[in-house]
Copies of this chain bind each other. A is one copy, B any other.
Amino acid sequence: ASESNLIRATLFPGDGIGPEIAESVKQVFRVADVPIEWEEHFVGTEIDPRTQSFLTWESLESVRQNKVGLKGPMATPIGKGHRSLNLTLRKELNLYANVRPCYSLPGYKTKYDDVDLITIRENTEGEYSGLEHQVVRGVVESLKIITRSASLRVAEYAFHYAKAHGRQRVSAIHKANIMQKTDGLFLKCCREVAEKYPEIVYEEVVIDNCCMMLVKNPALFDVLVMPNLYGDIISDLCAGLIGGLGLTPSVNIGEGGIALAEAVHGSAPDIAGKNLANPTALLLSAVSMLRHLDLHDKADRIQDAVLKTIAEGKYRTGDLGGKSTTTEFTNAICDHI
């Protein structure tokens, strides 16, 4: 890729196994000749007063300017009064939709071989408001906040996504039979948006029933859109269907066209630095980032190489039952490019 065509993207390698799997992405991108120039930012060792967290102001500015980034796992340092790094990123960058494509990996066998769905999670409000207090001793309450603006915004994104990706159906997941006002407002917004997309089938599914249907027959679902906590739960459930968080990509969409792709698994401190980590989730997240940039050729090549390597089964990391190092697995992917 020639210097002048380079797209700048922010890279947060993150903690634990983060730097190793980020290294793997950088290597694969080099081999695939992806026109990306990384701007690396690490989590700070002290609280930055401008972000009130260990995330530096500069790193957030970098994402705001580049509008595109990739993030490894970040463990929030334990102790009082520290905002979670992941939540800080979502709030500060207004990352309003978390998008997780979830499909059965050819060649990696689980109980399910027909998963092909996308979960789209409202990422800024709901049960994550942070508003909680003690009413009297022994009685506490948490507030779940649903707004029309955030609900419309994520619903718009879901239908837009469905249409752009040739998807047939959007299911809004809710518990409006119990939370009539909050989830009711969420559904109302989804219905409003649905009317603008007559070509897409719209349905509403109660969350408990949705979870039952997902484990019985995930092929029933296509695009799912939902409030924050349900998205948290259902996206992990879906990841479980195809093998776990080590295999599932994720992208956070923010106001102003920001896309921050992220591996949502943990930082696995127990195996950090041992060259044992599986970079698949971060690689496939990077692929999602490329698609967001309309670099579909590169995205296809890398995705195919990753899936082929896993399917062949010769080089797999320990979490997938193999014995390969991160480096060996990454080299195998590069050989396929």
Which residues of A line the B interface, CB within 8 A?
Answer: 84, 110-112, 127-128, 132-135, 137-149, 175, 177-182, 184-185, 207-209, 211-216, 229, 232-237, 239-241, 243-245
Contacts and interface: CB of A to CB of B under 8 A. Distances in A.
Nearest to A146: B140
Contacts of A141: 143-146, 181-182
B212 A244 contact: yes
A132 to B, nearest CB: 4
Given A214-B240, A233-B208, A148 B143 contact: no
Given A132-B181, A142-B182, A143-B141, A215 B212 contact: no
B240 A215 contact: yes
Contacts of A140: 145-147, 181-182, 184-185
Contact of A245 (B145, B149, B212, B232): B212
21 contacts: A110-B216, A111-B111, A127-B175, A127-B178, A133-B181, A138-B147, A138-B148, A138-B149, A139-B146, A139-B147, A140-B182, A140-B184, A141-B146, A142-B144, A142-B146, A143-B143, A175-B229, A178-B229, A208-B236, A211-B240, A212-B245
Contact of A216 (B145, B212, B229, B240): B240
Greatest chain B CB density within 10 A among A134, A143, A207, A215 is at A215
Of the candidates A144, A209, A213, the one having the most CB atoms from chain B within 10 angstroms of its own CB is A144
A54 to B, nearest CB: 17
A234 B236 CA distance: 13
A138 B232 CA distance: 23
Contacts of A134: 181
Given A142-B182, A207-B233, A216-B244, 5 more contacts: A139-B147, A139-B148, A142-B146, A211-B234, A211-B236
Contacts of A139: 145-148
A84 to B, nearest CB: 8
Contacts of A214: 237, 240
